[in-house]
Chain A
């Protein structure tokens, strides 16, 4: 089975500053990795995904993530955040032998002016 650990439960950040959200996974098989964002009173929206190939993945809204197999990490970054990036961010993993998606506990990002 796969599991995900999001290392930061809350990340406060000032507008136009960079942000990094950390995600580590554990799995004994090949994995597929995802970052989702949940704005208040909404469902989850896919930001980006890593399936295979290039380890640097670009997503929507200026976000990118880097897959690091040796460190079993998939950290999410944005070079300059906006107030509208205030949301809950979930890292998720599915394995090559499992249809179930395992979510991390989530990271609350609060962007202040």
Chain B
């Protein structure tokens, strides 16, 4: 299985809602990532988990809360988001080495109203 599966594909939420994005991989990868991508822009790194521990937080606002329940799963909990947080949220995984390519999911298209 060489896929990274993200759910849901689309999500519309109000600014007072709480929702979660989910990501799953079964490639035995040790590192998992959350990226945010605005239209016509490259992905921006948000968080990195290595061996289920948070290793990088790119100064992301606390309204985004990542969680890595086990080596195959990655969640992103959302609370009190702003309209400018609307974007494509991409999950990725890798072996965790500096020369390992990332494997991306197809993303969750988030709209905050």
Contact = CB atoms under 8 A, between A and B. Distances in A.
B99 A51 contact: yes
Contact of A103 (B42, B99, B101, B109): B42
A49 B101 contact: yes
B99 A94 contact: yes
Interface in A7-34: 32, 34
Interface of A: 32, 34, 36, 41-46, 49, 51, 88, 90, 94-96, 98-101, 103-106, 108
A103 B98 contact: no
A107 B110 CA distance: 24
Contacts of A41: 106, 109
Interface string B81-113: 000000000101000101101111111010000
Contact of A32 (B48, B99, B106, B107): B99
Given A43-B4, A106-B40, A106-B42, A100 B102 contact: no
A43 B104 contact: yes
Contacts of B102: 44, 46, 101
Chain B: number of interface residues, binned into ranges: 20 to 34
Given A43-B92, A99-B96, 13 more contacts: A41-B109, A43-B90, A43-B106, A43-B107, A44-B43, A44-B102, A88-B40, A90-B42, A90-B43, A95-B98, A99-B48, A100-B56, A104-B42
Nearest to B91: A43
Contacts of B40: 88, 106, 108
A28 B41 CA distance: 26
5 contacts: A43-B104, A43-B106, A51-B99, A95-B98, A101-B102
A43 B42 contact: no
Contacts of B106: 41-43
Given A43-B4, A105-B41, A34 B101 contact: yes
A99 B98 contact: yes
